[in-house]
Amino acid sequence: MEDMMEFGKEECGVQVRALLERQGADVLVQLVGGDVPHYGVIVTVDRAGEARSIALPSRPGHVHQETAIAEPFALRLHAALLPPGTRSDTKPDAKLGVKSGVNEKSKEGEKGVTASPLASGNVMVASGVHVNAITPKQMRAVFRMCERLGERAADWLERHPVDALEEVFASSSDTGSERIGRE
């Protein structure tokens, strides 16, 4: 099984790369490029589709802005990890950077909630694309390239599905501690 893949695009003198790695059913992507590739934003999407992001400081009084490219990218990959037949209901909204799906608020393991289908794994995107003295044309190109890279990466994930590995946790009586893990 291939567990690593790299996708790249270049437009308007700017290069962006998506380096995808799988561990079990989970996906980690480095979405980087420009004149100064870096890691300024981390976006995670859990199996239930909830996105979270961390934007690190970029300079005094500012944080990195790559959430605008990393979150739609991560949500697109999450949609690709959903069971076949449920993917069309959860495509990310490119303008809002959020998914528009059924029962968005359901959480894995939450009682009394009709659960949405769970993705086979979690998605994490570490992103940083800095173009020195970026122009509006280059900015638009970065967004287009990231959208296309997300489509290519999602297509690859859909064509290379993996089964989630079975996780077995010790019971509280075995460890003497509170219950841990998924039920």
Q: Is 181 left (phi over 0), alpha (psi -120 to 50) or beta?
A: left
Among the listed residues 111, 181, 124, 178, the one whose alpha carbon sits nearest the alpha carbon of residue 153:
124
pLDDT value, residue 105? 39
**Intra-chain end-to-end CA distance of the chain, in Å:** 28
Exposure on the CB side of residue 22, measured as CA atoms within 13 A = 21
Q: Where are the domains of the chain?
A: 4-175
Residue 126 has a CB neighbour count (10 Å cut-off) of 20
Q: 35-57 pLDDT, tens per residue?
A: 999 999 999 999 999 999 999 99
Q: What is the pLDDT along the chain (183 residues), one digit of tens a residue?
A: 568 999 999 999 999 999 999 999 999 999 999 999 999 999 999 999 999 999 999 999 999 999 999 999 999 999 999 988 776 544 444 443 444 333 333 444 554 444 567 899 999 999 999 999 999 999 999 999 999 999 999 999 999 998 777 888 888 776 655 555 544
3-class DSSP state for residue 154? helix
CA distance linking residue 43 with residue 126, whole number of Å: 7
pLDDT value, residue 2? 61
38, 57, 60, 120 from 79: Cα distances, Å: 26, 29, 36, 10
CA distance linking residue 106 with residue 50, whole number of Å: 9
Among the listed residues 44, 65, 66, 62, the one whose alpha carbon sits nearest the alpha carbon of residue 53:
44
